[in-house]
């Protein structure tokens, strides 16, 4: 029989149905990387094609002033943007519309066309996180921004259209329901106990041990109890910090090392899987309260989101997170 588990951070359930008999190593695929070109003359994110992107917001130089390590540019096909005035329109009783005011930027993580965070050095990953952090703090200054979503799409199944490594940051003029729900659940826990839900949860995962992959001084990496997809992996701080923008610069190197090692282990265990990750933070207006803890959710895209998930919001996972975690431990370096 399958089991249902409740995600304590959303109160929604997942179904874990292992009856298909998939073992953790069934997800491993053969790595086919025929081309490992470091440069693609058609790619707008490669060096020499900087004129193909909108004017850059950040450039971290490297050696000569023409070289760079990381660039941040506005997304050419922005979901929300800076042009146009904010407006609200209501037609009839139901048709509520507003202008897509906001920010949508791309963090180009490396000048190399074929590269990945898992193969980069800790220093290089740190520069990526620093750029994300810098833009997070900048977007937070805009009073129109109600939510900041930092995410990465890696691979076609994860929705990427450009192979050159990049992540994205979006500042939206509304607080998404999912973000609000996560915050409400955390606030309710704080009302009941006076403590941060996520810190309590991280403590219980550390106590249970079976889903924890590894820890550093300040961070813990684990597969959550109610993993929605096979090999879902979270990275969370062990200290109180509601938003990613609050991380001190001096701790980004440690986070970079933890992120790099986690992605490397996923790469090795699963054969360079497509994945998304999201850096969740408290809504900017509430990020001084210690109800929330920022955290990274890594979601390998090994299965397809189908009708049941779209119709119910409930995910069907085919492997127990403790089994996935045990398997992952063979690949940690």
By CB under 8 A, what part of segment 126-165 binds a second copy?
A: 147, 149-153, 156-160
Q: Is there binding between residue 313 and a second copy (CB under 8 A)?
A: yes
In the complex, minimum distance from the CB of residue 280 to a second copy, in angstroms, rounded to a whole number: 7
**Token pair of 71 as six digits:** 């660039």
Residue 24, both tokens: 């953790």
Which entry of 166, 189, 223, 280 is annotated as an active-site residue? 166
311 touches a second copy by CB under 8 A: yes
> By CB under 8 A, what part of segment 179-218 binds a second copy?
179, 181, 200-201, 204, 207-208
- Nearest distance from C-beta of residue 198 to a second copy, angstroms: 10
Count of residues for the chain?
333
Closest by CA position to 31, among listed 116, 128, 123, 153: 116
Residue 44 engages a second copy in binding (rule: CB under 8 A): no
**Pairing state of beta strands 166-172 and 103-108?**
antiparallel
What one-character DSSP code corresponds to residue 84?
A: S
Nearest to 316 by CA among 16, 3, 56, 112: 16
Q: What are phi and psi of 83, to 5 degrees?
A: -75, 145
**Distance between CA atoms of residues 198 and 9, nearest Å:** 8
- The yes-or-no answer on residue 246 being catalytic is no
Cβ at position 230, least distance to a second copy in Å: 14
Q: Which is nearer to a second copy, 35 or 161 (CB)?
A: 161
Tell me if 306 contacts a second copy by CB under 8 A. Answer: yes
d(CA 34, CA 326): 31
The answer to whether 153 touches 160, Cβ cutoff 8 Å, is yes
Contacting a second copy within 221-250 (CB under 8 A): 225
For the window 83-122, what string marks contact with a second copy as x by the rule CB under 8 A?
Answer: xx------xxxxxxxxxxx---------------------
CB of 22 to a second copy, least distance (A): 10
* Residues labelled catalytic: 166
């Amino acid at each position: 029989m399958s089991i249902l588990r409740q995600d304590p951070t959303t109160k929604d359930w997942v179904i874990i149905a292992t009856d298909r008999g998939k073992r953790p190593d069934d997800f491993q695929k053969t790595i086919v990387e025929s081309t490992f070109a470091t440069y693609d003359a058609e790619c707008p994110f490669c060096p020499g094609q900087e004129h193909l992107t909108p004017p850059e917001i950040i450039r971290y130089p490297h050696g000569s002033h023409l070289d760079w390590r990381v660039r941040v540019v506005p997304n050419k096909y922005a979901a929300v943007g800076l042009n146009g005035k904010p407006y609200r329109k209501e037609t009839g009783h139901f048709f509520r519309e507003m202008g897509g005011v906001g920010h949508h930027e791309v963090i180009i993580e490396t000048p190399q066309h074929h590269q990945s965070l898992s193969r980069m050095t800790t220093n290089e990953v740190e520069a990526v996180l620093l750029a994300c952090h810098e833009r997070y703090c900048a977007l937070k200054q805009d009073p129109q921004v109600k939510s900041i979503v930092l995410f990465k799409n890696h691979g076609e199944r994860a929705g990427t259209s450009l192979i050159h490594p990049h992540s994205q940051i979006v500042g939206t003029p509304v607080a998404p329901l999912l973000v609000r729900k996560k915050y409400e659940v955390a606030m309710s826990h704080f009302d009941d106990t006076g403590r941060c839900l996520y810190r309590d949860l991280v403590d219980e995962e550390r106590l249970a041990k079976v889903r924890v992959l590894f820890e550093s001084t300040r961070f813990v990496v684990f597969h959550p109890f109610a993993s929605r997809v096979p090999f879902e992996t979270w990275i969370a701080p062990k200290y109180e910090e509601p938003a990613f923008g609050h991380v001190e610069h001096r701790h980004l190197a440690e986070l970079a090392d933890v992120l790099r090692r986690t992605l490397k282990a996923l790469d090795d265990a699963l054969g360079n899987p497509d994945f998304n990750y999201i850096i969740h933070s408290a809504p900017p207006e509430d990020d001084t309260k210690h109800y929330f803890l920022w955290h990274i959710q890594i979601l390998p895209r090994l299965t397809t989101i189908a009708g049941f998930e779209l119709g119910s919001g409930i995910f069907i996972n085919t492997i127990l997170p403790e089994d996935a975690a045990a398997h992952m431990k063979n690949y940690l370096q």
